[in-house]
Amino acid sequence: MQVTEFISQLDEARIVAAIAAAERQTSAEIRVYISHRAHADALAFAQRRFRQLGLTKTRQRNAVLLYLAPRTRQFAIVGDSGVHEKCGAAFWQEASARLSAALQQGNYTAALIQTVQQIGALLAAHFPPAAGDGNELPNAILH
């Protein structure tokens, strides 16, 4: 799928609102990145993009990146070390399976919102908001 076609099907305002709502419940950060490139290994590129975007610099190492590569119909969900310590591998497998199934249905906005909400709920359980917590990273979708 062409990236511009994929992006045109998104309701970015609703996705950004879902990110903001999820982040109000936690000290963690959630980012969505849509790649314009075709990658054979979305996870490797997502991990690299995670570092390039500075997601390893949150105070509690609790950022999560939803990385989508529409041209190769791949995605990856990457969390920082603090998230992995609290959540375990089973959570990531479940979140990936749900996102995959939702994307296959073709409602990309709903798929992303559902995943953001799911990840947000988990992050809220392990990283509740703290006094003076601010939004460390923008909520806008990157592409």
Environment class of residue 52 by beta-carbon count within 10 Å: exposed (0-12), middle (13-18) or buried (19+)? exposed
77-102 pLDDT, tens per residue?
Answer: 999 999 988 888 888 888 999 999 99
Per-residue pLDDT, averaged over 64-76, amounts to 95
**Phi and psi at residue 40, to the nearest 5°:** -75, -30
Tell me the pTM: 0.94
Q: Where are the domains of the chain?
A: 3-126
The residue assigned the tokens 């609790």 is: 62
CATH number listed for the domain at residues 3-126: 3.10.310.50
99-125 pLDDT, tens per residue?
Answer: 999 999 999 999 999 999 999 999 999
7-26 pLDDT, tens per residue?
Answer: 999 999 999 999 999 999 99
